[in-house]
Structure 1
Amino acid sequence: MPVGLIEIKSELKKRQHAITQNESRLSKKDKELLKRISMKTKQMNVNNVTRTKAYLDFYLNYPEIHWAFLGHMVSRNGGWNMTDLRGDLLSRLMNEKTVQDFFSFLERGNWLIFQDAYPQFLLYAESKRKNQNLFYLLPFLNVSIFMEVIWNHFWKTKDRNILTIGLIINEQNYLEQRILQNSIYKEKVIYTLEFFLQDLLSLNHILFPLEESGKLTLIGLTLHHFDSLHERIILGKRLYRLLFKSSGQLKKVLQWAINHAHTGSRKDYWQDIFNDVNEGVPGISLKRRLIACRLRKGANRLYSPRLEYAWKNVQHSEAENSDWFSHLNVINYLHENQGHAKGEIVNEYCETLEKLEIATITKKAIFL
């Protein structure tokens, strides 16, 4: 085990059974800072669009925090998944109750991650502004002891990889406790036929658009077992390598993100296939429109609405205040895996769209 990880493990052992600190002992300045951070987080945690923009804005100011851009790009995909539920295809495969349950599942997860990660970023920004380590305040923001140790390590070593992977581990464990192990979501979403169909049809693509020679292309990876904590962490690490392995490729994805504001519609990256205006005519029977990622002659584009027209903002209940960290074996994930993810996904994604279109057309046959 590298020296840095040995130090992290040693510190986590010390902190594992630490006594909970009392907020009343904090200085007035610290209390005011915590209040500002909470207010700013709440202000930006309105919906998927505001969260996604906040991640990008932070990364542009603090490019050393790699997770902020990774989080931005993954959050874009979360928004596209939300609007898919009101788009041309998935909305025809699910009844309204299932659509609502799936949106609640996606929205709650997106909200939870932001309200955990963004306060960490704001505290880092304040630490940097004051040139003072303020990460002792993380527990008062209900952030895991694991991340306090990781941030302290980053403050000392500037190791961006360890910080990013640490954040990936943290956020996926945070979701595991509050979403994947939640009995309501298990019953309404994870154990439903539609969820397994999504996995069967490989609908869990994470796409990173970029432009090369003036043409749009997509790179990305696919998650096949969303309910597996291990698979989600491994995917997060692979996505991180894919996004940051090449400075040239990173620059292209970042430039695309800056040039294309996130709206939630898949039109953001593929205007030839998707439109945020419904071009279809009610009552007309469905026909095949896609072939090899192109529209058939005379075919309407697939409807992919903007988030603001697809879903209203949600008032969330407070997150549970419990620390997921209990076992030192999570440190093993901090090892940087060798090799690179190729990220070739265009053909797979195109095949998925065609499969989904066929499934939509033949819905009655599938669900008899």
Structure 2
Amino acid sequence: MKGAFILRKLSQLKKQLKQKKQVPPALTKSDEKMVKKIVDETSLLNKNNVTRTKAYLDFYRRNPAIHWSFLAHMVSRNGGWNMTDLKGSLHSRLMDRSERETFFSFLERSNWLIFQDAYPQLLLYEESSKRKKPLFHLLPALHVSFFMKCAWDFFWQERDSYLLTMALIVNEQNYLESRVVQHPGYQAVFSTVEFKMQDLLSMNHILFPYVKGGKVKLAGATVHQFERLHERILIGKRLYGILFGSGLKMVEKWASSTTHTGSRKDYWPHLFNSVDEGMPGLALKPRLISCKLTPGSPRIYSPKLEFSWKDRKHEKVEPGDWYKDSNVLSYLEGSLESLGGEIEAEYCSTLRKLELAGILGEVVE
């Protein structure tokens, strides 16, 4: 019955998407003022990964019906950890300076692009809620896809958090496709040691820390074949099922009590430190066994973002609407499933392999 109900909803959304795209109406002075306010606030908060990640969480606290914002917050935390990994003690031995710079630019551009497209949508929804009337006719003025205009109009009518989250996942990954993944300037990323290593070592884990029994545990999933749009959308759906399943409150509690710095010390200070404890010239040797340090070993260096990378100025976004036809609605089918997302053992194994790879100077299979 639930599946049939969702299909009926998707049929309604499909009708809206099949309507001929209309030229956006001329903006009133009040509309122009609102659009400028949204653009300015987005720009202010889009300085770096730390400011973006905090903005997503702050918005979710004010608007818990918008599940995507908390999903974006947790995924953005992982983006920050990946950025600082490039300057940490494990990854820095496997990539030269040029490769680290290229990979950081890729991560930062992706993180920046998603925020500058999605956050104005969130702010416009919040303003609509305050005024108790939909303002999504302003989305074209913010260069948001026609697909999302229909999705927000639909959400305003139906208040279906699941379908809106799926729509935002589809939107963000299609938005990145031509602007980053298929962009000639970033094609070199997919042939670097880092990307090859991710698939060989299952290294690209998305982690959702939570507290259980007084200890920080990890749930999540592993991303493979990031360069494939279909796979990225499916992993987004899986991550949503893990996050908004039975463990949501525990992850929310951890996120609310833990400031995002970009250092992996945020979730496991027993294993990581934002200060380098290693001794210069000291011979490298294995120190990790089942995510525990051997006696007397220094913690893994995982710096804060503010000490790792300077804020970047970005080029203007490439114009264009990715939406072409309603076939993408197939990704919205189904319903929220509570998924376990056990990943801690796999992650610990990866850290061990990654450490050995750094010692040997090559990827260990």
Coordinate RMSD, CA, aligned: 1.3
Cα distance in 2 for partners of 1:143, 1:84 equals 32
Structure 2 unaligned regions, length at least 5 = none
For residue 284 of structure 2, give the secondary structure of its aligned residue in structure 1. coil
| Residue 19 (structure 1) shift | 4.0
1:276 counterpart (271, 274, 277): 274
1:192 aligns to what?
A: 192
2:323 counterpart (325, 336, 358): 325
| Residue 255 (structure 1) shift | 0.8
Cα distance in 1 for partners of 2:338, 2:252 equals 19
Q: Does 1:229 align with 2:229?
A: yes
Letter in 1 for 2:11: I
Cα distance in 1 for partners of 2:277, 2:42 equals 38
**Count of residue pairs brought into register by the alignment:** 359
Q: Structure 2 vs 1, CA of residues 62 and 137 (structure 1 numbering), >3 Å: closer, same or farther?
A: same
Q: Would the aligned equivalents of 1:201 and 1:352 in 2 still touch at CA under 8 Å?
A: yes
What percent identity do the matched residue pairs reach? 54
For residue 129 of structure 1, give the secondary structure of its aligned residue in structure 2. helix
| Residue 362 (structure 1) shift | 0.3
Q: Structure 2 vs 1, CA of residues 146 and 343 (structure 1 numbering), >3 Å: closer, same or farther?
A: same
2:11 counterpart (2, 6, 15): 6
The 5 Å alignment of 1:60-75 reads 60-75=61-76
Cα-to-partner distance string for 1:304-343 (whole Å, 9 max, x where unaligned): 0000000000001111121000121100000025754320
Q: Structure 2 vs 1, CA of residues 313 and 299 (structure 1 numbering), >3 Å: closer, same or farther?
A: same
2:285 aligns to what?
A: 287
Cα-to-partner distance string for 1:199-255 (whole Å, 9 max, x where unaligned): 111111000000012111000000111111111101101111111122xx2111011
The 5 Å alignment of 1:72-91 reads 72-91=73-92
1:132 aligns to what?
A: 133
Q: Would the aligned equivalents of 1:109 and 1:179 in 2 still touch at CA under 8 Å?
A: yes
1:347 counterpart (336, 339, 345): 345
The 5 Å alignment of 1:144-155 reads 144-155=145-156
Cα distance in 2 for partners of 1:137, 1:194 equals 41
Q: Would the aligned equivalents of 2:84 and 2:305 in 1 still touch at CA under 8 Å?
A: yes
2:30 aligns to what?
A: 29
Q: Would the aligned equivalents of 2:264 and 2:273 in 1 still touch at CA under 8 Å?
A: yes
Cα distance in 2 for partners of 1:123, 1:53 equals 18
| Residue 366 (structure 1) shift | 5.8
TM-score (norm 2): 0.96
Q: Would the aligned equivalents of 2:244 and 2:338 in 1 still touch at CA under 8 Å?
A: no
For residue 169 of structure 2, give the secondary structure of its aligned residue in structure 1. helix
Cα distance in 2 for partners of 1:61, 1:174 equals 26
Cα distance in 2 for partners of 1:66, 1:115 equals 18
2:46 aligns to what?
A: 45
Letter in 2 for 1:41: T
For residue 208 of structure 1, give the secondary structure of its aligned residue in structure 2. strand
1:213 aligns to what?
A: 213
Cα-to-partner distance string for 1:117-175 (whole Å, 9 max, x where unaligned): 10000000100000111001111101100000000000000001000010000001001
Q: Would the aligned equivalents of 1:238 and 1:340 in 2 still touch at CA under 8 Å?
A: no
Q: Would the aligned equivalents of 2:60 and 2:66 in 1 still touch at CA under 8 Å?
A: yes
For residue 261 of structure 2, give the secondary structure of its aligned residue in structure 1. coil
1:172 aligns to what?
A: 173
1:267 aligns to what?
A: 265
Letter in 1 for 2:329: I
TM-score (norm 1): 0.95
